[in-house]
Amino acid sequence: MAPIYLCPPELHSYIASFVCLTDSGRSIRSFSLVSRYFQQITEPYLFHTISATGTPNLLALDSSIRRTGCPLGARHLYLAPCENTPSRGPNKPLIQAIQNILARAHPTLETLTLDLSSSPHESTLIFSHIFRTSFPRLRALALSGFYPNPNTSTVNFPKLRRLHLSGNRNPCGLLHAESLPAAFPQLEDLRISGLSMAVAFALEIEGALHSSSSRSPFLSYPGTPTTNTPGPYPASIFDSVPHQTSPALSLPATLRTLSICPSSPLGQTISSRSSVLKNKAMMTTLRRVGNDAGGKGKIKFILEDRAALEAGDLRKDWEEAMEGKVSHS
């Protein structure tokens, strides 16, 4: 008998608990394959950290989780279907699989990343489901895809500190009223990426930062197309921007960092002149926000370099979130 088998099971279980902290789950799976004995020892920790890329792997993960009889106890979860072929409608088995996984994992999750950027038919349904689900221990959440505004009827994310939203080009209304403060009362780090032609949302950011410093219940957007437009742009590109007094814009009182990452610049050959002008106006507004915010308020505003967000970036952020890091700030 090998010397390691002479150790008490409690010590083996203790070792397994440390193994599952080392990476995204590969080590604990390898440990479980050593023998039937270690398969039993590692079973309570096998789903501590879960990473599944590709729809077949997600479906297999759902099947495996439904077969296990012990509590899942998942702490960290990364899911990325990576659909390469366009579909005409929602992939119902995929939606059901993700919902089943979340149903078993949500009570204990601490970090959660869902990359549904290649699954437009599924993302809104799944993200709406997430916002309606209670995650009592979650501290870091990243969603990539067509996300809706968070549900504010209940506090489902009481401990969330870090939030990354990506996939909506112009998420107007995200900062209106108590949307974020009510949903994420302890939020400290907010990152919004993938903005494009988002003049209205850029002004919304400017208004929310102003509101957080002035605490005024109502505020007007900064000017009209004829008096204070962000740069020498025609008034037509501001048709969708409200110019009158708007409902209060607010950010969580605990927020310390607001990071904005616009998408890559649009090329002249693939975009209309109006689209190019809207992008330029958005960037002008965001740069103005950065200049005005420059260390004056309690919220640090970061305008990141324009770059397309890749799946690898989301995974890297997820792995750093497990270690409590914030790479972009």
pLDDT of 244 > 60? The answer is: no
pLDDT of 112 > 70? The answer is: yes
Pick the residue with more confidence: 223 or 53? 53
* Average pLDDT score over residue span 96-113: 95
Residue 156 is assigned to a structural domain of this protein:
no
Q: Are residues 64 and 181 in the same domain?
A: no
Q: Are residues 18 and 80 in the same domain?
A: no
Domain boundary among 150, 177, 198: 150
Residue 329 is assigned to a structural domain of this protein:
yes
Which residue, chain included where needed, has tokens 């039937």?
36
Q: Are residues 189 and 166 in the same domain?
A: yes
Q: Are residues 229 and 278 in the same domain?
A: yes
Contact 61, 50 (CB under 8 A): yes
* Average pLDDT score over residue span 4-25: 60
Q: Are residues 98 and 141 in the same domain?
A: yes
pLDDT of 311 > 70? The answer is: no
Rounded to whole angstroms, how far apart are CA atoms 2 and 25?
Answer: 25
Rounded to whole angstroms, how far apart are CA atoms 243 and 322?
Answer: 42
Note the pLDDT of residue 133: 95
Cβ neighbours of residue 164 closer than 8 Å, sequence gap 6 or more: 141, 142, 143, 191, 192, 193, 314, 317
Domain boundary among 30, 46, 62: 46
Q: Which helix (H) or strand (E) holds 178?
A: none
Q: Are residues 167 and 247 in the same domain?
A: yes
- Per the structure block, which two tokens stand in for 31? 């440990």
pLDDT of 154 > 60? The answer is: yes
Domain that holds residue 306: 161-329
Q: Are residues 264 and 206 in the same domain?
A: yes
Residue 279 is assigned to a structural domain of this protein:
yes
Q: Are residues 62 and 202 in the same domain?
A: no
Rounded to whole angstroms, how far apart are CA atoms 50 and 112?
Answer: 10
Q: What's this model's pTM, rounded to 2 decimal places?
A: 0.81
Share of the chain above pLDDT 90, in %: 41
Q: How far does the chain reach from its first CA to its final CA, in angstroms? A: 52
Phi and psi, residue 326, nearest 5°: -130, 100
* Average pLDDT score over residue span 25-42: 63
Detail the DSSP E strand segments found in the chain.
49-53, 76-80, 111-115, 140-144, 162-166, 189-195, 219-220, 245-246, 257-262, 300-303
Contact 162, 324 (CB under 8 A): no
Q: Residue 297 gets which letter from DSSP?
A: S
Note the pLDDT of residue 257: 95
In one-letter notation, the amino acid at residue 161 is: R
Q: Are residues 53 and 40 in the same domain?
A: no
Beta pairing partners, 76: 49, 111
Nearest to 61 by CA among 69, 124, 53: 53
Nearest to 322 by CA among 25, 30, 21, 81: 21
Burial 165-198 (b: 16+ CB within 10 A, else e): bbbbebbbebbbeebbbbbbbebbbbbbbbbbbb
* Average pLDDT over the chain, rounded to an integer: 79
Contact 15, 38 (CB under 8 A): no
Report the domain count for the chain.
3
pLDDT of 153 > 50? The answer is: yes
Instruction: Identify which of 42-56, 116-130, 168-182 has the greatest average pLDDT.
Output: 116-130
**227 confidence band (pLDDT: 50, 70, 90):** very low
* Average pLDDT score over residue span 145-162: 90
pLDDT of 10 > 70? The answer is: no
Phi and psi, residue 85, nearest 5°: -105, 130
Cβ neighbours of residue 92 closer than 8 Å, sequence gap 6 or more: none
Nearest to 208 by CA among 252, 170, 164, 165: 252
Residue 114 is assigned to a structural domain of this protein:
yes
Q: Are residues 2 and 77 in the same domain?
A: no
Question: CB neighbours (10 Å) of residue 269?
Answer: 5
Domain boundary among 150, 174, 201: 150
Note the pLDDT of residue 300: 93
Q: Are residues 39 and 52 in the same domain?
A: no
Residue 238 is assigned to a structural domain of this protein:
yes
Note the pLDDT of residue 24: 57
Q: Are residues 256 and 314 in the same domain?
A: yes
Pick the residue with more confidence: 35 or 54? 54
Rounded to whole angstroms, how far apart are CA atoms 105 and 62?
Answer: 11
Rounded to whole angstroms, how far apart are CA atoms 106 and 150?
Answer: 17
